[in-house]
Chain A
Amino acid sequence: MGAKGKGSSQRRSRLAALAGVVSLVACTGGGTPAPTAARSTAGSVHAGGAAPSGTARVSAGSEVGESDWTATVRPLGEPDESTARALAGQGGAAPAAQSVAQSSASGGSSRRVNPAVVSLLNAANAHSRNGDHPRAAASLERAIAIEPDNAWLWHRLAVTRLAEGRLDQAAGLAAKSNALPGADRGLQADNWRIIAEVRRRQGDADGAAAAKAEARRLAQ
């Protein structure tokens, strides 16, 4: 399409003339062109690009703040290195990578860590560090599509949703992670901490305390 502004003044004058002509034709009695018509047609403004309203749902929710929750959940560590080390069988892997390995291993009897899942998890961690939770979540969802019974992936998605402020989803995903057999006690404790944090933010102090107690019991 040609530029909108091009020849607009010329067109506007043509339009004003047109309005006049039409008025003259229609009103056989003649007289001055109706001012209403001239104003309403010539004085119009092009509407801007009509973006679908109410569709921008990719909202960056509130960042996880200084709540006690962040202190207790296992850190993401340096995932790119640690997951690579875990893959290579080197020692010193951070908890994140260990969990992936554990979840993957316990989900199937002798299954190895799936490199595709690791690459997606690394991508998710990178997005999370940049505060890009929607992209982090998308990578995690792709990983879950490959390994739907990996409890760690569901947990990571719950963490991401909590960071986005999507509380109900965070709690649902944490509970789902807990229901999978790959969730060891440590991971279950982490999931209960997420649930406790969700309940705290929703104003459910008793529920939060109960969830926290469950987390402590599992962490022992």
Chain B
Amino acid sequence: MPSKTRRRSAASRSRKTRRRRHGRSVGGVLGRVMVIALILTGAYVAWLDLHVRSQFEGRRFSVPARLYARPLELYAGMRLTPAALEETLRAAGYQARADSGRRATYARRGETFDVHTRPFPFWDARQPALRVRVRFGAGQVSGVQVDGRERPLVRLDPALIGRIYPGHHEDRLLVRLDEVPSGLVAALLSVEDRDFEHHYGISPRAIARALFANLRAGALVQGGSTITQQLAKEYFLNGQRTWGRKLNDAVIALILEARYDKAEILEAYLNEVYLGQDGERAIHGFGLAAHFYFGRDLDALRLPELALLVALVRGPSYYNPRRHPRRALARRNLVLEQMRALGIISAARLERARAAPLGVIAATRARFRYPAFIDLVRRQLRRDYRDEDLRGDGLRIFTTLDVHTQRMAERALERRIARLEHAGGRRSGALQGAVIVTSPQSGEVLAVVGGRDEQRAGFNRAIDAVRPVGSLIKPAVYLAALEQPRRYTLASPLLDEPVAVRASTGSVWRPKNYDDTAHGRTSLYEALVKSYNLATVRLGMEVGLDEVTESLRRLGIERPLQPFPSLLLGAAELSPVEVTQMYQTLAGGGFRVPVRAIREVTSARGEPLSRYPLSVRQAFEPAPVFVLVEAMRGVMSEGTGRSSRARLGAGVAAAGKTGTTDGLRDSWFAGFTEDRLAVVWLGHDDNTPAGLSGADGALQVWIDMMKSLKPRSLAARAPSDVEWAWTDLRQGRTTRSECPGSVRFPYVRGSQPPVGQCGEWRAERVGAVPG
């Protein structure tokens, strides 16, 4: 033995000497490799841990942002129909009952409504549940009472119109573990993870048992993945089922179990697990799945229904109860039998549950009823919020949507398009359209329709259809002129004669009129009202393309526009929402109000985070804008929009402008009354001719919608520096009221033309005509 020891020590000595001699030994290299491997593994685990935590903690409390419509403000004297109130209540989920004993119900008796509201945390005040009586009379609200006493004003709790999960099409109705029916958890654990309470994230016993069960059954009846592993899989969604991924999931499961307790993991799982697909919307979590499949809250479901939801965990598409009811039923019953086998339910209960039908409701898309409007909200939010800011904490977003206006806009577009297709013998389904409705003074968006079938989300034409606007641009040209009142008034003579404009590129542009005829001598007023192209081009070139471009910019068009001559006839391509901004400034008397779809954003508890306040900026002097808008009334009474006068009634004054583009590709109308501004576009998505002028198409949609909204007549609010004068347009002179052919016209103070002759007028007396 001593010799051995000696030998070993000798060997070790010799190794040491070798090491010393060679500098680097095998053991040293191995040690370094091990250290590097340790560091790399450690770094990998640390990275996974970070990722897991961000996933788990980022989502644990993450409730989608909730979007609300505008709350209805009820007061005596308000213009509202009983039908509109009823529609608004229903949109907010109110149920019609014989008596309004419960919250969120209403009882209607003729023109009297008893409404029992929900409590609601408005950002500026918390409102308790109220018993409100609303009476109607003479087309308006005649009185509002709360608990039998008259109130000047009552705000109804607004309709929940959608939820936002930015970045991906996900939706959730979060459930808390203590709200989840115990039967669900029991069913889930009995088929998916019996050892859940005891394992550390992975369960060798479960794997062995699954292997055995599957071998015995000759099919995949059990999986070996724990609930925690399945949650890990949801967090790192990627379809591959490789061993590498399984190992990864297992490590994540271990991290999850190390960091969080069982209740937290189970709750996260219940809200995370993928349970179905609704178009492009993924159904995650049992709360949402309960609504998606049964139309009810999770805690209102009974055992067979809960068992079906658990059955779906294994394969929501394979066991889709709507598509494969037999498979789904068999799987559901398997879940029930497992529960019986584990002694969770009695034999009698099993039999009753097995006999129950699936009970799945027909698929509905009712949850996303305002896709185009919500799309606009999302884009406006994106300017101010990062996606991750929106994701957390269940923000409440108070929007400007008016559900009644939205409904009327959708209906008008859908029905008019169907009529136009039917009457014109057009190919069916090709004609598309978009509508935006706002409040003229505040710029609040009341409705957005992104296509003829608004219930189906898709291409949002209200925002994304960027098309030539045609004559819709003309008010900008005329406003640029009227801003120089010493040079131009509505009575200024214009020449509607062929014109050739040489562009800087050398090419010559020869515009034409819509009816292909030149109208000769005309006035600025008539040229706008009848939408004469030749006169407009002459005027625009005289005023200057830069002036016109600048006028568009001041009206609120932010898109850079090239000052080409064709701009004067609307070669510029704009979207309906951009046109809305432009006309908003005209309706606002030259004050620019941003078109906005959001009023405020609050936290889940109602604390204000951002306000989108009413803000105005003066972009023009009020007087020239007023004069222009008066001419735009003429469009509606005697110009290209005159069909509105007969259909809307002479008692409802409005101002607007039609727009038609080359080959009848785009049909536009933009116009406003006292309380509604609306822009309508019709056309084909593929830009082929739709065969409609602005007056034949878009204007008709506009009129249909306005009729149903019963708008207030546009008031004439002349600024103090506007003066009225009787005018004979044919001679471009002021006259007296008794002179035949004279009309009262507004002028910016001091810009009235000289006094002309009363009565018969001869053309040769007219002075120089610009051109």
Contact = CB atoms under 8 A, between A and B. Distances in A.
A41 B591 contact: no
A157 B677 CA distance: 23
B616 A173 contact: yes
B75 A146 contact: yes
B34 A14 contact: no
Main secondary structure of the interface of B (DSSP, over half): mixed
B46 interface: yes
Contact of B254 (A22, A34, A120): A22
B609 interface: yes
B760 interface: no
A130 interface: no
Contacts of B258: 11, 14-15, 17-18
Interface stretch (B277-285, B288-296, B384-392, B491-499): B384-392
A190 to B, nearest CB: 16
Contacts of A179: 589-591, 622, 719
A1 B61 contact: yes
B384 A27 contact: no
Given A118-B152, A119-B152, A22 B41 contact: yes
Contacts of A30: 34
A50 B609 contact: no
Interface residues of A, number: 65
Interface string B168-195: 0000000010000000000000000000
Given A15-B258, A149-B717, A169 B613 contact: yes
A65 B53 CA distance: 49
Given A1-B60, A144-B441, A145-B439, A115 B45 contact: no
A205 to B, nearest CB: 21
Contacts of A157: 614
A40 B42 contact: yes
B155 to A, nearest CB: 8
A11 B259 contact: yes
Interface size class of B (residues with CB under 8 A): 35 or more
Contact of A29 (B37, B53, B385, B388): B37
B38 A23 contact: yes
Which of A7, A30, A46, A142 has the largest count of B CB atoms less than 10 A from its CB?
A142
A146 B442 CA distance: 11
A73 interface: no
Contacts of B384: 55
A37 interface: yes
A180 B616 CA distance: 13
A52 interface: yes
A116 B76 contact: yes
Contacts of A116: 73, 75-78, 152-153
Contact of B591 (A120, A137, A149, A175): A175
B96 interface: no
B41 A18 contact: no
A176 interface: yes
Interface in A19-52: 19, 21-23, 26-27, 29-31, 33-34, 36-38, 40-41, 44, 46-47, 49-52
Contacts of B719: 179, 181
A6 interface: yes
A36 B46 contact: yes
A176 B613 contact: no
A148 B442 contact: yes
A11 B261 contact: yes
A139 interface: yes
Contacts of A138: 123-124, 600, 611
A146 B674 CA distance: 12
B389 A53 contact: yes
Contact of B42 (A29, A34, A114, A181): A34
6 closest A-B pairs (Cβ-Cβ)?
Answer: A37-B42, A116-B75, A52-B389, A34-B38, A148-B441, A115-B152
22 contacts: A1-B176, A11-B261, A19-B42, A19-B45, A27-B34, A36-B38, A37-B45, A38-B42, A50-B58, A52-B385, A52-B386, A115-B76, A115-B152, A116-B75, A116-B153, A119-B152, A134-B124, A149-B717, A168-B615, A169-B613, A169-B616, A179-B590
Given A118-B152, A146-B78, A172-B616, 15 more contacts: A1-B263, A6-B261, A26-B37, A27-B37, A36-B38, A44-B53, A49-B61, A49-B393, A52-B392, A52-B393, A57-B610, A119-B153, A146-B75, A149-B715, A168-B617
